[in-house]
Structure 1
Amino acid sequence: MLHHQVRSVFLNGFLHMLTVLDGIALVDMDAKTWRTIPVPTDNFFDGCIHQAQGRLCFLNVDDADFFKLSIWFLEDHGTNEWTLKHSVRTPLLFGRKKLRFEFDYTVITIHPECNLIYFVYGWDKTLMAYEMDRKEVRVIRNLGHDCSVTYFPYVPLFLEALEDEQ
């Protein structure tokens, strides 16, 4: 059964989907090869998957601290080896406020090449970025309280580049 946050990631020829009990399900594009890989912690009910720097990322609330966001990178699909990339407590992100993942703030995406996490927070749906290396938070823009709940990260379209190669 798929997780209620049905976000999928296409990476290395497989579609990755977070499940309720089995971690992450992978299926190839011909739907002939299926398998699951475990997530690095027991708490994947409060988690989501993304893709960054050519790797699968798993973000979740820390098992021992509900106000701590952990960012994991899958190092090897063969051994299912995960590395904890970063963790941050919500008081650092939101100025002393202890906020809950997916209730008070939502992770939109991780930058594909940099150590940036984009998220939306608050009634005015403030779009923010957290730079993991510098441990700095920046407000990008207030999207407004009537902004849609579903957010799609920007994905560039390289039509012109493809036309130039023909």
Structure 2
Amino acid sequence: MKKKHVHEQQAILPHGHDCTEQDHSPPTGNQGRDGKAPPFPSTEEESEQQPGVDLPEGAIVEILSRVPYRSLCRFKCVSKPWLALCSDPNVRKRSPQTLSGFFFKDHGRFNFRNLSGKGPPLVDPSLRFWRGIYDCFSVEQCCSSLLLCKCLKSHHWEDECDYVVCNPMTGQWTVLPPIGWLDEEDGAMVYFEPIRDIFLGFDAAVPSRFVVFVPLTNCFCEFTEMAIYSSETGRWTKVQSEWGYKTILVGNSECVFLNGTMHLATHYALVVTVDTEGKVWREIEMPEHSPDTNQLASIGKSQGRLYAWQIEDDHDCQLYVWVLEDCGGGKWTLKYTVNVPELFGRQPGQDDMSYKVFAIHPDCDLIFLTDEEEMAVSYDMENQKVNATCTFSQEFEDVLPYVPCFAEWASDAH
């Protein structure tokens, strides 16, 4: 058990910390001649002082593909040959990615804020690549690098809609077909609607495919079957749920796709899981010693493990963070505790703010919190450092963490 109580306040985001700051320049499409990477770039001064380096093109691409995207953006400023080399899609789509910013709603408009808080948005939140096809859209979920959107061809929300999965960085998108299957008795197509909950699963380690899960719920939000869509087959399959009949899911905001398995929070202190083929079903109990049994804990993923957290509002507003150390045995370990008002520079028990954790960093023990009125902060739990990330109005809501991905899908995507 590891508890943290002392915090160091900082006024700006830390420099040199890969988990909290990234410098993103808009990606360009410049390439070398014939679309190939140009020769290893060098300045005239360097060529006079040092012997030339003649590396095979494949070796150069392989080296730079292991360089973080932030560094590639900086290398573009060295010279035109460096700009062309670091803009090569073969390099960019393989470079390591991490949390780069947040999508959010601002006065009803979909927007994006860079993690660094600097520069123009890394992503165009208007998703203009489908302009002229859809008049309006709402984002149902963001899973790492992909968005699941509900799109309409007019501004009348009562009209039929499409569910669309898109990569905002590459502009590729796929329209999900209606949920349907052949009736076992007469062979006719049977369609399911309306969709109440829909969950997107995507792993950047396998960027060529994604999956979508839809519980086939009744009017009481109960279900016994699950529909699973695979981008590889382009079809839905219906499988029998092996969870308890009274499983009632929290909704789109409480889902985690981890190690090829979808994790969903329920209203009964359980996390239920299912794999992409609908063959392995599990139930994981939430941490036993939760301080507030009447309040649901939230879930997220970081460093390849499942995390859960809860803020106790009744007393001194403590944040509790657990990690699932043993996935097979369902063993949770309390990793951190922290007094939330202190992170915002306030005295415990002397304010009436409503605090919320809206994200956890996928690569380090860094969480993001808001008081839902004035400001947001990031807290490095391991090093006990607080950073004010931004100030905003009460309209700053529905925050979705985003990790860019430049890899392309199959050719049938738009």
Matching residue of 1:79: 329
Q: Which has the higher mean CA deviation after the structures are superposed, 24-33 or 62-71?
A: 62-71
Larger RCO (alpha carbons 8 Å, 6+ apart)? 2
Structure 1 CA distance, aligned partners of 2:348 and 2:369?
Answer: 15
Structure 2 CA distance, aligned partners of 1:63 and 1:75?
Answer: 26
Secondary structure of 1:113's counterpart equals coil
Matching residue of 1:146: 395
Q: Could you tell me whether the CA contact under 8 Å between 1:57 and 1:71 is conserved in 2?
A: yes
Matching residue of 1:132: 381
CA RMSD of aligned residues (A): 2.5
Q: Could you tell me whether the CA contact under 8 Å between 2:263 and 2:274 is conserved in 1?
A: yes
Matching residue of 1:163: none
Which of the two has greater strand per residue? 1
TM-score (norm 1): 0.81
Q: 1:111 to 1:157 in 2, by over 3 A?
A: same
Structure 1 CA distance, aligned partners of 2:339 and 2:395?
Answer: 28
Q: Could you tell me whether the CA contact under 8 Å between 1:23 and 1:44 is conserved in 2?
A: no
The one of 303, 306, 309 aligned to 1:59: 309
The one of 12, 18, 27 aligned to 2:274: 27
Structure 1 CA distance, aligned partners of 2:302 and 2:381?
Answer: 13
> Aligned pair 1:109/2:359, yes or no?
yes
Matching residue of 1:46: 296
Query: 1:63: how far off?
Result: 10
Which letter maps to 2:325? E
Query: 1:133: how far off?
Result: 2.1
> Aligned pair 1:93/2:359, yes or no?
no
Q: Could you tell me whether the CA contact under 8 Å between 1:5 and 1:48 is conserved in 2?
A: no
TM-score (norm 2): 0.35
Matched residue count = 156
Query: 1:61: how far off?
Result: 3.2
Query: 1:49: how far off?
Result: 0.1
Extract structure 1 runs of 4+ deviating beyond 4 A: 62-66
Matching residue of 2:150: none
Query: 1:12: how far off?
Result: 1.6
Q: 1:12 to 1:150 in 2, by over 3 A?
A: same
Secondary structure of 1:91's counterpart equals helix
Secondary structure of 2:347's counterpart equals coil
Query: 1:111: how far off?
Result: 1.0
Structure 1 CA distance, aligned partners of 2:294 and 2:321?
Answer: 12
Structure 2: gaps spanning 5 or more residues: 1-247, 409-414
Q: 1:46 to 1:93 in 2, by over 3 A?
A: farther
Matching residue of 2:15: none
Structure 1 CA distance, aligned partners of 2:316 and 2:276?
Answer: 36
Q: Could you tell me whether the CA contact under 8 Å between 1:6 and 1:18 is conserved in 2?
A: no
Q: 1:44 to 1:34 in 2, by over 3 A?
A: farther
Structure 1: gaps spanning 5 or more residues: 161-166
Structure 1 CA distance, aligned partners of 2:294 and 2:259?
Answer: 22
